[in-house]
Amino acid sequence: MSNLANEALLALAAWPGAALLRRSSFAYLLANATHILSVGLVVGAIVPLDLRLLGLFRRRSLAVLAPFLSRCAAVGMACALMTGALLFSVRPVEYAGNPAFLAKLGLIAVGVANALLLRRRAAWRDAASGGPVDAGVRLAAALSLVVWTGAVVAGRWIGFL
């Protein structure tokens, strides 16, 4: 890690919000619990949507499920990113060197990119409005399941390294 990057991480650790989280077990508890709930919202919305796109729950309309679950996942992701940044600020130098944390960030980036690219496709719009689900949409759903499961596993792995 470069000296400049290390200095930036140390400055982040000195931020008053990070100091508060280190001093107050209650503040840390709230941030951590909110992060876990946010991740639960992301995964809890994405998994059923991906499974529906892969052909399960065919009796449930994608025209109803897709907009609702996509919005739930987006809200969960926004909250998870905010609370994750707060938690990162507590020990940024340690986290920046943790392979599990880096894997989690990479998987999140792939998951978000997959979702954003999918939503730009006409095939997604067709499927989300109740039309047929093409092979490309199914492939994106399968990738999504693998990537988000991996991100959760990597997140849990952080504490063991």
Question: pLDDT tens digits, residue range 95-123?
Answer: 999 999 999 999 999 999 999 999 999 99
pTM (global) more than 0.75: yes
Amino acid occupying residue 2: S
Instruction: Please list, in sequence order, all residues whose beta carbon lies within 8 angstroms of the beta carbon of residue 90, skipping any fewer than 6 positions away.
Output: 13, 18, 21, 22, 28
CA pair distance 22, 91, nearest whole angstrom: 9
- Is-contact 108 39, C-beta < 8 A? no
Question: pLDDT tens digits, residue range 26-83?
Answer: 999 999 999 999 999 999 999 999 999 999 999 999 999 999 999 999 999 999 999 9
